[in-house]
Amino acid sequence: MSHFPAFEVVPAVDMQDGEVVQLVQGERGTATRYGDPVEAARRWVDEGAETLHLVDLDGAFEGERANAAAVDAVLDAVDVPVQLGGGIRTAADAIDLLDRGVDRVILGTAAVETPEIVAEISDAHPGSVMVSLDAKNGEVVVSGWTEGTGLDPAEAAERYEALGAGAILFTDVDVEGQLEGINRESVERVVDAVDVPVVASGGVTTLDDVRALREAGAAAVVVGTALYEGRFTLAEAQSA
């Protein structure tokens, strides 16, 4: 299965308590609500999305999956590939989700704490693990962005590629959810470090940001707040 044969704009459907939300810099309590996940998913597919990015925010914070019903409903409602992150802590969790029809599982904290599960999941479902690297001030952070690891994002990306990761999701936390633009250089460094696709996320505000990430070598870009707030349409971003 080839991921992202051409550059893609991937809408984010972030879920909290069964509703679509967007947070500012990952802080709880900063959520703007955008309704039903299935409606959002259908809307983006109708507008031309070729992949959807689902995040279980309750799972990400609580360390367990809290929006399972909403995820299942989205999987039933759309027939584009879905990548899912948030609260996936074990290989068994991930394999269960992949068996149920999720195309890629996104591992963050779990991959940092137990890197070997990347290989374990990849053995069962080759190419299906996307390792999420969140960088703040140039270092990888985990646990809802509260804890530094001292790891360099490009070096971490290489390490996970060697373990079998099929893609890297790279988020610059310094610009996440604030509609203030992207950090192109940090994306380029990660792209240069690995051969697998690098999907960029965080801070995309304008069509110029989308173009800059494409030029930086990203295989795809995840867009949340800017699409929900109508800064540009999905079609505009795709043609950018």
Catalytic residue set: 14, 134
Residue with tokens 């080839």: 2
Q: Which amino acid is at 149?
A: T
Do residues 10 and 51 lie in contact, with contact meaning Cβ atoms separated by under 8 Å? yes
Q: What is the three-class DSSP state of 16?
A: strand
CA distances from 187 to 82, 112, 194, 226 (A): 23, 19, 11, 19
Query: Exposed, middle or buried by CB within 10 Å (0-12, 13-18, 19+), for 191?
Result: buried
